[in-house]
Amino acid sequence: MIKFYFHPSPNPLKIALYLEETGEPYELIPVDTRKGEQHADTFKAINPNAKTPAMQDGDIRVFDSNAMLIYLAEKTGKFLPANTPQNKAEMYSWLMFVATGIGPYCGQAVHFKHFAPQPQEYAVNRYDFEAWRHWHIIDDVLAAQPYMMGNDYSIVDMSVWGWARVAPFVLGAQAWEKLPHVKRLLDQINARPAAQRAEALKTQFTFKTEVDAEARKMLFPSNERLKV
């Protein structure tokens, strides 16, 4: 059985959605990142980058959410586009776009808007601009077709959904006014029973919600260098 290391944040939710959509059996193992559990040696043996999500499938370890989506989809054969070179290239391109663009720029925008220890106008401007730019690209794709890969729901949509859930927190109150097609996809996926089960997973555990001094130390270890 798959051991799925989980925290209720955008990247782990992608994997939760896939597992719930497919009915693949798994054991849910919480990792409270605000308590620093991701830095434990036992967890870093599974993901040396000390981030969620990660999983073990027997003797196989997989980390990074989009790598996990690809692994699971190839294992089960579900929610993949037709197996052609063109489709695979398109799927990989959009998955990497989310992994190297949407996720990092949204994450940095959130950090500098909400968690930086002092105002950083330059950083906020840069990451907010890039987050918007990347989301507008996704919105343009969805303006022309129902899903990221065309007419069929796939792991690319699941990857987008993970971050679309928190778009207003990243981008502000105008997110859905300016990204109507992303909102349409989000609403469609949210209506799926699997998405509702994935969202409910966090209720099985009590995760730390406060971003206090100890949580900041665990989440942003680079800040410790500023104290030297």
Angle 39-44-108 (CA atoms, 0-180°, nearest 5)? 60
18, 192 contact by CB (below 8 A): no
- What is the pLDDT at residue 223? 80
Tens of pLDDT, residue by residue over 101-132, are 999 999 999 999 999 988 899 999 999 999 99
Which pLDDT belongs to residue 99? 98
* pLDDT beyond 80 at 227: no
Tens-digit pLDDT profile for residues 67-79: 999 999 999 999 9
pTM: 0.95
Long-range pairs, 212-218, Cβ under 8 A, ≥24: 214/35, 214/36, 215/34, 215/35, 216/115, 217/36, 218/33, 218/34, 218/35, 218/36, 218/38, 218/39
Q: What is the pLDDT of residues 124-169, one digit of tens each?
A: 999 999 999 999 999 999 999 999 999 999 999 999 999 999 999 9
In the chain, what are the domains? 2-78+197-227 (3.40.30.10), 85-191 (1.20.1050.10)
